[in-house]
Structure 1
Amino acid sequence: MTSGKPNPWQIAALPMIEPEFLSGVLSEASDIALIVDPEGVVMAALVNETGSPYGSLDHWIGKKLTNFLTEECIPKLDRILERSSRDEKVQRVELNHRDKVVWQYPVRYSIHPVGHSERAILMLGRDLRQVAETQQQLVQAQFALEQGYEERREYDARYRMLMSVAREAFVLVSVADGRIRDLNDAAAHILGAAKDQLQGQPFANEFKDRGRAEFVQNILALALSEVDAEVTIQTKRTRNEVTITPISFRAGGARMLICRLEAGTSEEHASDKLSDNLVRLFRHGPEAIVFTDSNGVVQSANDAFMRLVDFAHHVDVRGTSLAEYMSRGQIDLNVMLDNAIKTGRMSAYSTKFCNDVGVWTAAEVSVSYLNKRSTPTVAFVIRDATRSEAMRTPAQGSSNMAGEDVVDLVGSAHLKDIVSQTTDVIERICIETAIELTGNNRAAAAEMLGLSRQSLYVKLHKLGIQEKQDGD
């Protein structure tokens, strides 16, 4: 409903604004007010002084406005001036200003023609820096959100891949309601159902004679105990004995249980514990343990062996031949490998090992041939024999007992004959031992004894060992 009176805005009945008030009105109505001639030269510039960060713009007057615009905004101003010269209406435009290089800010202008003759335009601008900062914050928040989504998808992919390839069976259970939140294929196989069928179901329902609340609380108590605890129960679907080892953790403020399931008899669990104990013995035992292939090439060695040969890292010995560290080299290795492969084991073999700086250490080696696999493995257990040799040194007076047989010969034979007889006995023992260790390999036995092959044959003939071996 209207009063029927004429509108003063339409009939231009609005009182004229005095010049001294006009500048104040324009500065309050906008953040920046500019009057620009058809050539783009600034004729006047007003700034809202209330909290304005711009300062004075008097140095703009008499200069082209393009001097204070960024490069991408200059074509915008040229189009505005061209359309204004043709009396075409231009409503709004956004321009980015720059002043003294470091002073840059966006401004949204409304364009108003001023007069018909001079065709100048009045540009009333609103500062968009706050809007631009808000937009920038939104863009940064969007980037951060997208990055968070990407990280979440990455972690989810890792988690899914880990659950799918893990051989051990795992079930994630919510403590609040006792339901299965997730599980892998191995756990589904043990429980006797598909993953989709088990997810969301009460965990206690998968076991025989178990109440939901009591069952979850008992598992939680095991998880919170200071020692490793487990419980063995029977599954409802497969009727198999399953051992549950729970671990408690929090996710998103909710308490969860990750339960490792192990199916099998107590003998299998004992075997697993034995394996763990053997691994600990290999890693922390005082005796050097080395595993090689059937040719004596080192596959793995423990820290005790690294200390024996004085190497810093396992990589330094992996792939090398064990013969490189023994006093008689390949001869010692061949003797041990031949006897171990032939009989399955060799109880004790005396040799010496050399470390990286050339220090020799006496050792006793036990060898086992592990051939129940596609690639046979030989295990060497090496004991430091330095202390054992010291303990075996004869005590005072024991030499008389060891030499009683020699003493009995004194007076009944010449010294030369006594020495010759004892030498023959020692030679016979050493040669027979070397031949036995080398599997009747005369060349290897000669090298072990430090003799030439011809000298060994002479001694074999002299001591009658050759005829004995041939007769056998």
Structure 2
Amino acid sequence: MTSSPRSRPEAVDAAVPPAYLAEVVGAACDVALVIAADGRVLSVVPGRTGLPDPGLADLVGHPLTGALTPESAARLDDARARIAAGEDLCRAVELDHRTSTGRVAPVGYSFVPHGFDGALLMLGRDLGAITECRTQLVQAQLALEQVYEARRDVATRYRVLLSGIAEPVVFVTAADGRIADLNDPAAALLAATRESLGRPLASAFATEAGDFSDRLARAAAGEGPLLLSTARDGRELRLSAEVFRAAGARHYLCRLEGAGDRTGAADGIAADLSALYARSTDAILFAGLDGTIVTCNDSFLDLIEATQISDVAGRCLSDYLGRGQVDLKVLVENARGLGQMRLYATRLVTRLGGETAVEMSVCHLDDRTAPSLAFVIRDASRAEGVRSSKPTGTPEDASSVIALVGSATLKEIVSETTDAVEKMCIETAVHLTRNNRVAAAEMLGLSRQSLYVKLRKFGLLDREGPGET
């Protein structure tokens, strides 16, 4: 709204009587501002429910643009210029106040020219609730988009997985036995296409629909696979079923294979062996009959402190054996002569010159055009340390027993020998358990109290070690 130019009266006060303005504002808006021609706020009048933000009361005497965000200040200047040009502003202008309370208060203003000196009366509606609702809607829209994106991602992965499986797979709804989905191998077996979705699975086989539904339910319950003949060419298939629940409905996951085709099991074994090769804590290595390394797993690389297979591929295994060609010759000759050799003890030399005690087993793989050797190598450094360490006092105990012959009766010698053997066993158990008295007692079949008595008897109670754990 604009007012037509008119002559200025002798005395016009830009200020509106507070009581009258408060009455108008209380009925028509949430806040009213009176600003002078230079942009200063002359007065702030709250609505009946108070100001949208308490910080708006601090605007009096200050330029309004200084308390607005940069975008809102530009909108205010544009609105004032348009009003000065005589244009009617039909729509409210949204201004964001930066108040002294530290928050941004959005208010929608309608402008009414007041007086003849460029002053304006701004009637504002609090847009805080609307802005909050708008923010929530945007957040809900973003969340919905994320859900849709996640669903599209899952659907894409499902399609890629289904198309990449070589095993024929069919999804069937349990309620009516209809095909919900299938992959290409299953479609080839059943002479079906994507247009076959929704058809009863029983129609693909030479069987009655009712009987098929009962048999499928029993197979999913664990009675074993079904032997069926296809309706197209009478080919015999084995159908295995598993039941699962999705979206509140039960479904069957059906796997198909030829009645005489057991390649699925072989594929499963191959997958298991591949996982074992990759994850085994023992080193696994394949080499030619001359000892040339073809490939190995990460555990072998760890043993010899190598970083990658290319560091060892093509090299002779004897380069990493403690006795070189001597070790390799023993292993290869026994493997080729007997088919295998187990637990051959030697040392493995690392790339940095260190040595690790190992136990090696080798198998001759001669069922192929190019025979090879498969080695399994286990780190035996800890076991060797236990075997090589001798409990203290053993030589003295043996000597003392021998010295008794001729000076004591057999009964007395046996008693002394028993004590010597008992001491050796206790020392060995304590050593193997790294001085863990609880574990040593369990190893010897003794109670903790009995073990402590015997440790005290043989003077072993003050041995250093990690103690009980």
TM-score by length of 1: 0.62
- Aligned partner of 1:170 in structure 2 is 169
Structure 1 residue 87 displacement after superposition: 3.5
Aligned residues, how many?
A: 355
Distance 2:294 2:197 in 1: 47
Which secondary structure does the structure 1 equivalent of 2:130 belong to?
Answer: helix
Cα distance in 1, alignment partners of residues 134 and 97 from structure 2: 18
Match of 1:220 in 2: 217
AA of the residue aligned to 2:202: A
- 1:49-448 correspondence to structure 2 within 5 Å: 49-50=48-49, 52-55=51-54, 57-91=56-90, 92-100=92-100, 102-115=102-115, 117-191=116-190, 193-211=191-209, 213-225=210-222, 229-265=224-260, 291-293=286-288, 295-297=291-293, 299=295, 319=313, 321-324=316-319, 328-330=323-325, 333=328, 346-347=338-339, 352-354=345-347, 365-372=362-369, 377-379=372-374
Q: Distance in 1 between matches of 2:358 and 2:253?
A: 50
CA distance in 2, matches of 1:381, 1:171: 41
- Name the CA distance, whole Å, in 2 between partners of 1:45 and 1:130: 21
Question: Greater CA radius of gyration, 1 or 2?
Answer: 1
Q: Is the 8 A contact 2:334 2:341 kept in 1?
A: no
Letter matched to residue 208 of structure 1? A
| Whole-angstrom distance in 2 between the partners of 1:57 and 1:270 | 77
* Letter in structure 1 aligned against 2:232: R
Deviation at 1:34, TM superposition (A): 1.1
Q: Normalising by structure 2, report the TM-score.
A: 0.62
Q: State the secondary structure of the residue aligned to 1:208.
A: coil
SS in 1 for 2:239: strand
Q: Is the 8 A contact 1:190 1:263 kept in 2?
A: no
CA distance in structure 2 between the partners assigned to 1:52 and 1:102 by the alignment: 15
Distance 1:141 1:329, change over 3 A: same
Q: Counterparts of 1:208 and 1:140 in 2: how far apart (Å)? A: 55
Residue 314 to residue 347, structure 1, CA distance change in 2 (3 Å): farther
Distance 1:155 1:231 in 2: 31
2:215 touches 2:226 (CA, 8 Å); kept in 1? no
TM-superposed CA distance for 1:291, in Å, is: 3.7
Cα 1:45–1:349 change in 2 (3 A) is: closer
Once residues 252 and 189 of structure 2 are traced to their aligned partners in structure 1, the CA distance between those partners, rounded to angstroms, is 18
Given that 1:184 and 1:195 are in contact with CA atoms closer than 8 Å, whether structure 2 keeps it comes out as no
The yes-or-no answer on 1:32 pairing with 2:36 is: no
C-alpha root-mean-square deviation of aligned residues, in Å? 4.3
Which sections of structure 1, spanning at least 5 residues, go unmatched?
A: 1-16, 387-472
| Distance in 2, Cα, partners of 1:284 & 1:139 | 48
Q: Say whether the 8 Å CA contact 2:171–2:251 is kept in structure 1.
A: yes
In structure 2, relative to structure 1, the CA distance for the partners of 1:197 and 1:321 (3 Å cut) is farther
Quote the residue 2:409 is aligned against. none
CA contact (8 A) 2:283 2:296 kept: no
DSSP 3-state at the match of 1:130: helix
Q: Structure 2: which 5+ runs fail to align?
A: 1-15, 384-469
Task: Judge conservation of contact 2:362–2:374 (CA < 8 Å) in 1.
Answer: no
CA contact (8 A) 1:325 1:353 kept: no
Cα 1:346–1:282 change in 2 (3 A) is farther
Query: Is the contact made by 2:364 and 2:371 (CA closer than 8 Å) also made in structure 1?
Result: no
Q: C-alpha displacement at 1:76, in angstroms?
A: 1.9
The letter for the 2-side match of 1:61 is V
Change (3 A) 1:260 1:300: farther
